[in-house]
Structure 1
Amino acid sequence: MMGQDNKITVDMMEKTNVEGVDVPGSTDITFRQALKANPKVMINCILMTLGPMAFGFDIIIVGVVTAIPAFLQTYGEFDGKQYILPSLWLSLWNAFMQIGFMIGSVLNGWLSDRFGRKVSMMAGAAITSLGVAVIFTSDLSGSVEHRRGAFLAGKIVLGIGLSMMATTSLIYNSEIIHPKLRGVVLSLFQFFLVFGQMIAAFVAGSQITIGFQLVSYRTCFATQWAMAGAALVAALVVPESPVYLLKRGKVEAARKSLTRLHDPTMAESSLISIQETLDHEKAEQQLSSDATYLECFKGHNWRRTRIILYASIVQQFHGISFVANGTYFMIVAGLSPVNAIKVLEVACALALVGIMVSWFLSHLAGRRPTLIGCTAFLCPVWISIGIAGCYPTSKAALWYMGIMINLILFFFNVGAGPVIPIIVAETSSVRLRAKANGIGFLCNGFASWAFNFFVPYLFNVDELNWGGKTGFFFAGLTAIAGVVLWLELPEMKNRTYRQLDEMFENRVRTRDFRKYACTT
């Protein structure tokens, strides 16, 4: 047995007989065989997706409460007909939560590599709980401006914690899962995120009928603590990532972690497989043992980082920032709060079905066709919403816009939603994964900040008042995104990380990835 701080050498690899053993990186088995051989890995991956579930729940809760009458009365202003939220504050709340996402992403890249995936998940859960506490008490001030400011501060802190949990979940699951299971497991990020959104919609729907009682939105805020607590428990239960442990030179700890994740007979071969990939990447780049953010922008790593950036911001081009405000938009346009929440509930349920459809679609067709196809399909959908927005007095047009805006959740989750986390997680090298994913979440946060700030100005009644005609704007953006993805996004389905290293190092053309024969 090797000591905890000993290095796994080439001689040790050569002396270890792994012939006939299906190491975690092997792609020579079927999906069913991989699923049967990795039950403990699947359980731990599901536990870590409680982070994304908390992410989805909190995002919807702090967004849908803007439709609750008591919240509008406490934080909004009366425009002569109804209570509304000023565009400035609606933009600030949406945008500065993205600031929190960016801070959390940068912080998590360092924290996860320094102290481990478990610690970064627990820290994210703790910070999330603190943010919930600030939001929960934000209405105690007698000044509406102070209430709005406190709510803004709480959303920033909440964004930091949620970003840390979401980033850690992707890093951890991508490091322990078999390549054959990678697509389904990494798409669980989006599945549990939407599942959290659906729970949030039902929680908000149960409170919206209470009317102007403060308990209606306070109950929504309080339930966020339960989600953060579940993620904290999950982080305590799962074993530490063996990739992190090997990067820190803790060989014996990595072996114990692998024994908890796999059959004990697989631990040694798994250990060698991971170490060989890490050693190759360090030797190829001729770098020190400590990964840096700068490496993500050098050589072939820049191409990998670029792909992560496209995948990280494309959801904003799909119009998700508008969809996030869909409930408030429908109420301002004339739909009752109860009906607006019901539409959201149905859309979230359909989105879960869409994700399950995507499991088969991305497995059969691949990541590239699924994401590009989804992007192309959303373009005419947004055009139809824009056309309906040209008839603001029509009740039928209003219902069409409301239904289609929320059903974009379904269309988005058939393709882009579940595939984006897969692309972000599997594109970077193993050694730079925490840093590259942190950059991806940082850019996602910046794009979300920008879109969440200016989109309310496009559709809200006290500013440009485009309403449904905002659909034309997003139709143009989806067209641009489709062209960029066609040129830059390669197919990485069923490839080991070592094989992906080879293809990026050899600068294989984007459309040649699928048919490239690796020597690895």
Structure 2
Amino acid sequence: MATVRDLGKHENLPDTKAVDNDTGTIIDQITESTSHFSNGEAWDEDRTLWQNIKRYRKVVGITFGLTSAILLYGFDNVIVGTVSGMPGFQKDFGEYLVKTDEWILPSSWLALWNVSSPIGAMCGSIAGAFLQDRIGRRRALALCSLLSAFSVAIMYVSYLPSSIDSRRGCFFAGRLFQGFSIGAVMTTTQTYMSEILPPILRGSGMAFFPVFTFLGQLTGALVIFGSLHKGKGYTIAFASQWPFSFVPILIALFIPESPAYHIRKNAISRALESQTRLDPRGTDTAATVEKMQKDIEHEAQLNKAASFAACFRGRNLRRTLIVMWANSLPCVFGLSLLAKASYFLQIVGMSSGNSVLFLILGIVLGLLANAVSVWAVSRVGRRKLIFASLGISAGLWLGMGIANCFHGSGVVWWTAASMMLVIVVCGVGVWPAAYAVAAETSSLQLRAKTQGIGWCVSAFTTAVAGIVLPYIFNPDAGNLRGKVGFTYVGSCVVGLGVSWLIVPEMKGRSIGEIDRMFEMGLSARGFEAWREDDRGSGTREWTAERPVV
């Protein structure tokens, strides 16, 4: 593989190869500490969040541009999820229940629709991981966003067939393909952001996922509310998704390709060009690329091929399992039910108008909580955020379950308030922390593949919840209604225990440090206390078998 020095870009770097005098083994020397001091990262922890934002304003600006893809994700979740609560949609796609004098959606079709997006996202996340390693992050983002626009068109015309089963099937197909494209878009976006963000801003950048998911949901909820009582208002909601599908395409035209992708393709000059567009003024860009190249070369020694199978071999297995668990945490704390707040609150006994208002209120509260989380994840450890928020959420779900053992209008309002509080608590804690853990755990060489697996697991857990939940709380099935809170008490408690055992603290750690701690086999609780013995010496030595300190 060509190096930066081969290009004449960086003449004074120390040798990158050394020989162990006892064994004759070639050892990679990763000039991590040197590059940290030359690029100013050593003092990032001493700066405030705002100071680091100003220092890395190029990366922050690109990250904000990429949030257009997250907006698409959030907007789509609300539109295709909340449309089931619109009276016009219920009449065109549902059936009339004489006993209760109301239109309802059959549990079988509701479960099928709920699971269609996650199933599509499972396939899309794997396909997106493969695609971005073949054609690059930028092209994958643009292509998959274009596929999203075609999926919206399918949903838009789903009311045209004369047969009700054909209408239901057409809507199912649209949701399935939309889930596929969204899964690929989100996998690519998270991979790209995790590769360009500096360690000090990685947590805050990943907190953008819930922030802009909520912002997209708020926008979608306002569209739903504005077209709620129109005859075919749901078609307006579907059409409003098109602008959100095309914006990421435009963003992809202007952002630089990920330097890590170029390095893996042995395009070092292009990696330097991309990194130059990302680095602050005065940064030794060549040193940054050199260090990244050495990290990737070392990972390549341990993993002969960047394949999906490699994610489940050796030390990578532990890292992949952590990413899979982190992507499951949103379903663990109850996001799948919270996303269906409008329909669920109607089942509990709230009017359709008030249920949509509570959906909007929940999104606003969650958005504010997520805004706080951008600061919180930059200063508070991931483990602390996860533990505290899951523990509090378990208590809130328990209160909701107990309240629904009784009857009365107060129970309905208590249920809604409990769900709002869960959104706030998890919006500050476990939700953004889960994105940060998922983004920083995997190695650079397997980043795209591992993110694809993670998003696939996220979609799978969402699909399972989409299948099970309607049969638990819907009146024509389990009829548990608000007592579903008891199920989330158990899931939050289990989630807290599993997270304590397997989720390490990686806040502020560089890629090289994370690699080394996993290679040393440190326990999840040992990551936070570990410090590199020769941090100030300028070099760090690794062998292909184990780190040499």
Normalised by the shorter chain, which TM-score bucket? over 0.9
Counterpart of 1:227 in structure 2 is: 244
Contact 1:50 1:231 in 2 (8 A): yes
Structure 1, unpaired ranges of 5+ = none
CA-CA distance at 1:261 after TM superposition: 1.5
Point out the more displaced range, 259-268 or 46-55. Answer: 259-268
Q: Name the aligned partner's letter for residue 277 of structure 2.
A: R
Structure 2 CA distance for partners of 1:279 and 1:231, relative to 1, 3 Å: same
1:415-454 → structure 2 map (5 Å cutoff)? 415-454=429-468
Identify the match of residue 314 of structure 2 among 299, 307, 310: 299
Shift of 1:265: 4.4
Q: Which amino acid aligns with 2:465?
A: F
Between Structure 1 and Structure 2, the one with more helix by share is 1
One-letter code aligned to 1:244:
Y
Please report the TM-score for the alignment, with normalisation by the length of structure 1: 0.94
Q: How does 1:162-241 map to 2 (within 5 A)?
A: 162-210=182-230, 213-214=231-232, 216-241=233-258
Cα distance, 1:327 vs structure 2: 0.7
Label 1:276 to 1:5 Cα distance change in 2 as closer, same or farther (>3 A). Answer: closer
Q: Which residue of 2 aligns with 1:413?
A: 427
Give the corresponding residue for 2:536: none
The one of 268, 279, 293 aligned to 2:286: 268
- Residue 127 of structure 1 aligns with an amino acid whose one-letter code is L
- Between stretches 263-272 and 468-477, larger displacement belongs to 263-272
Q: How does 1:75-154 map to 2 (within 5 A)?
A: 75-80=93-98, 81-154=101-174
- SS of aligned partner of 1:83: strand
- Report the Cα offset of residue 468 of structure 1: 0.4
Query: For each residue in 1:240-283, what CA deviation from the matched residue of structure 2 results, as whole angstroms up to 9, or x when unmatched?
Result: 11110111111111111112222464321221121121122123
- Residues 7 and 113 of structure 1, relative CA distance in 2, 3 Å threshold: farther
Using the TM superposition, give the Cα deviation of residue 329 of structure 1 relative to its aligned residue in structure 2, in angstroms.
Answer: 1.6
The residue that corresponds to 2:295 in the other structure is 277
Letter in 2 for 1:76: G
Match of 2:68 among 37, 50, 62: 50
Question: Any idea what the Cα deviations from partners look like across 1:167-187, whole Å, max 9, x if unmatched?
Answer: 111111110111111111111
Equivalent residue letter for 1:434: A
CA distance in 2, matches of 1:18, 1:25: 9
Secondary structure, in 3 states, of the residue corresponding to 2:159?
helix
- Residue 12 of structure 1 deviates from its aligned partner by 7.2
Alignment coverage as a number of residue pairs: 512
Q: Does 1:156 align with 2:176?
A: yes
Q: Distance in 1 between matches of 2:489 and 2:229?
A: 35
Cα 1:12–1:163, aligned 2, differ >3 Å: closer, same or farther?
farther
CA distance in 2, matches of 1:25, 1:239: 25
1:248 aligns with 2:268: no
Distance (whole Å) between structure 1 residues aligned to residue 254 and residue 135 of structure 2: 16
In structure 1, which of residues 351, 356, 370 is the aligned counterpart of residue 371 of structure 2? 356
Aligned partners of 1:507, 1:76: CA distance in 2, in Å?
54
Judge which range, 126-135 or 333-342, deviates more: 333-342
Quick one: which amino acid aligns to residue 394 of structure 1?
A: G
Provide the rounded CA distance (Å) in 2 between the counterparts of 1:26 and 1:292: 36
Shifted more, 354-363 versus 321-330: the winner is 354-363
CA contact (8 A) 1:318 1:375 kept: yes
Aligned pair partner of 2:394 in 375, 379, 387: 379
**For the residues of structure 1 that align with 2:53 and 2:294, how far apart are their CA atoms?**
24
In the alignment, residue 490 of structure 2 is paired with which amino acid?
A: G
The match for 1:509 is 523
Alpha-carbon shift at residue 35 of structure 1 (Å): 2.4
In structure 1, how many angstroms separate the alpha carbons of the residues matched to 2:206 and 2:254? 20
What's 1:485 paired with?
A: 499
Q: CA deviation at 1:443?
A: 1.1
What is the percent sequence identity of the aligned residues? 31
Which shows bigger deviation, 23-32 or 343-352?
23-32
Tell me which amino acid in the other structure corresponds to 1:347.
G
Task: For 2:405, give the aligned amino acid.
Answer: C
CA RMSD of aligned residues (A): 2.2
Q: Is the CA contact 2:120–2:178 (under 8 Å) kept in the aligned structure 1?
A: yes
Aligned residue runs from structure 1 range 340-351, under 5 A = 340-351=355-366
Q: Could you tell me which of 318, 323, 327 is aligned with 2:342?
A: 327
Q: Distance in 2 between matches of 1:103 and 1:514?
A: 35
Deviations 1:125-148 (A, max 9, x none): 011111111100111001111111
CA change 1:115–1:23 in 2 (3 A) is: farther
2:22 paired with 1:14: no
Contact 1:6/1:249 (<8 A) preserved: no
Q: CA deviation at 1:198?
A: 0.8
Give 1:363 shift.
2.8
Of residues 390, 403, 406, the one that matches 1:388 is 403
The unaligned stretches of length 5 or more in structure 2 are 16-30, 534-539, 541-549
Contact 2:4 2:10 in 1 (8 A): no
Q: Is the 8 A contact 1:240 1:257 kept in 2?
A: yes
CA distance in 1, matches of 2:12, 2:527: 33
